[in-house]
A = this chain, B = another copy of it.
Amino acid sequence: MTDAGRVRLRFQPGDREVRVPPGVSVFEGASWNGIAIDSTCGGHGTCKKCRVRIVDGAVPVSQLDIRAFSPEELRDGWRLACLAAATADLTVDVPPLATRPKAATVGVGRQVILRPAVQKRYVELVEPTLADQTSDLERLLAALDDLELRVDLYALQRIGSVLRSSDFAATAVVVDDVLIDVEPGDTSGRRYAIAFDLGTTTVVATLLDLATGTPVAVRSMLNRQQPFGADVITRISATMLDPDALGRLRDLAHDTLDELVREVCKEGGVAPEEVYEVALAGNATMTHLVLGIDPEPLGVAPFIVSTRALPELLASDIGVRVHPRARAVVLPSFGAYVGGDIVAGILASGMDRDRRLRLFIDVGTNCEIVLGDANRLLATAAPAGPAFEAAQIRCGMRAADGAIEVVRIERDELLVQIIGDAEPAGLCGSGLVDAVAELVRVGLLDHSGRFVPDAVARGVAPALADRLTEVAGERVFVLHWRGDPDDASGAVFLSQRDVRELQFAKASIATGWRLLLLEWGADVEDVSQVLLAGSFGSYLSPASAVRIGLVPAMPLTRIVSAGNVAGEGAKMALLSVQERAGALALLEEVEYVELSDRRDFNDRFMAELGFPA
């Protein structure tokens, strides 16, 4: 791939070069790449502080430039960065900052300049007189004249008594371009937001201090929609069978989020009314359900989302009781099976900014795969089935106390690591992948995925051969004996069918990234890094993932656990309006590759079923 369609921005001093889509403003191009330019309005063209000098390349003079600069300055190339559209390569001189912006590290080592949508401004106003009957609102807005604000009725309902109870010294609360409240006195030190990762199984809330960008409290709990089914398809089915189910699923999602709000606010010593914005990342089904949007079209061919970009929303639209007029950002979906969690993941991992070719895999029942670099991004979804969630695995269980999460075979000895201080009770997804990978490595499973005959087993691993036995006529490998050592049916084991389930799952994923590589025109060797994401993927052992062929074979140091990227992306959307805009821009930049209608899918899938030699 070439840089076709991108323009180069070179920033001085420091000589940093970035490439952005044509038309992006110099201000945004800088912000997206961690280069700070002065601004109080956040790039809305109102504060006139983002002064830069274009030293190479041409940028037309805007109406506002004429007001912000003298004719000499305009001739010398001075422009407002937020209005300077980069339509061709430019070199830009950035003056030293008048105020040092704060930055926070989030996502996969991303440095984000703090420009939250939530702003607070403390003002001391001159009191009205008969000679100056300016309305309360106009009086306040005049003190905020670097912002062009819309006004929420709630702020109007409060402004009169707040100003008069505080001798006209008050704090304006602004989210994006909306004045949502006026608070008596100076409350500018306290502004908070909450980022939600709304998973099908687990929901995580992070309370952020927007002044510093730091997390104040984090809590997680199970999604209360669980009784309607473990995966998205069963929940969509529920809405098709019962007309009340959509409303109940929405309410259960709201209850889950709202309980987390109570918990993080209590833990962080923050009043819910001090939370002025929330952000949410989730897959398309979770996003539809939490907003009360019928998910049926997601679940049946041709798999249609109601919308990609979502409208302006309030926190109350996702059922959380924080500030009554707090805003909500719900990260958008590319399609029915590549949702806002993946948009958040691309944002958090910076895949759209990195010049290296990287492969992002969010492993789960539905596995999302993204391949690309700063020039081109391809995405697809692979239906992996529930093996990784340990459903349909004979001794499968969630990653909870008692689950075997790590399996190692060292010098003919089986070592297992258990979650919590408990007796092994089952096998979670990462343990399943480890167990299969180790058994393949020592030769107890052959490369087609079949347990070897006892005779072969005694040859390759004499101390473990006794663990190969039968339960209900099916060949199994016992990981942990419980009760009667002669009765494997009570043990924690891996069955032949479990191995097959995992083979189907990993073949689906591997077919996905192989087809993306083909579409891109790259080989496995061209991939610089693999990011394993999601609540399950992040816990996978890179060695085991390579061993079973779930990810391309490469040095293990280049296979990275990306952590909870959905939650990190939601945090970034709260910390920076530029990052938020970047997430929306992804909708136009990422190409979706549909696998299900490819003629070569089945052949490639069959080829991926075995384990690498």
Question: Which A residues form the contact surface with B (CB < 8 A)?
Answer: 128-138, 150-153, 156-157, 159-161, 164, 291-294, 296-297, 301-308, 310-313, 317, 335-336, 592, 594, 596-597
Contact = CB atoms under 8 A, between A and B. Distances in A.
Main secondary structure of the interface of A (DSSP, over half): loop
B304 A153 contact: no
A291 B153 contact: yes
A307 B136 contact: yes
Contact of A153 (B131, B133, B313, B596): B313
Contact of A306 (B156, B306, B312, B594): B156
Nearest to A336: B133
Given A161-B296, A317-B153, A335-B133, A128 B307 contact: no
Contacts of A156: 291, 293, 306-307, 310-311
24 contacts: A130-B301, A130-B302, A130-B594, A130-B596, A130-B597, A133-B302, A133-B304, A136-B304, A136-B305, A136-B307, A137-B307, A138-B307, A151-B307, A153-B311, A156-B291, A156-B293, A156-B306, A156-B307, A157-B291, A157-B292, A159-B306, A160-B293, A160-B296, A161-B296
A379 to B, nearest CB: 13
Contacts of A592: 133
Nearest to A294: B160
A-B CB proximity, top 3 nearest: A137-B307, A151-B311, A160-B294
A406 B304 CA distance: 70
Given A156-B291, A156-B311, A157-B292, 17 more contacts: A130-B301, A130-B596, A130-B597, A131-B597, A133-B302, A136-B297, A138-B308, A150-B311, A150-B312, A152-B311, A153-B311, A156-B307, A157-B294, A160-B294, A160-B304, A161-B294, A164-B297
User: How many chain copies?
Assistant: 2
A304 B129 CA distance: 9
Contacts of A130: 301-303, 594, 596-597
Contacts of A152: 311
Contact of A137 (B136, B306, B336): B306
Contacts of A129: 302
Contacts of A160: 293-294, 296-297, 304, 306
A301 B136 CA distance: 14
A532 to B, nearest CB: 27
B596 A305 contact: no
A294 B304 CA distance: 47
Contacts of A134: 304
A305 to B, nearest CB: 5
A336 B292 CA distance: 42
A313 B302 CA distance: 38
A302 B335 CA distance: 57
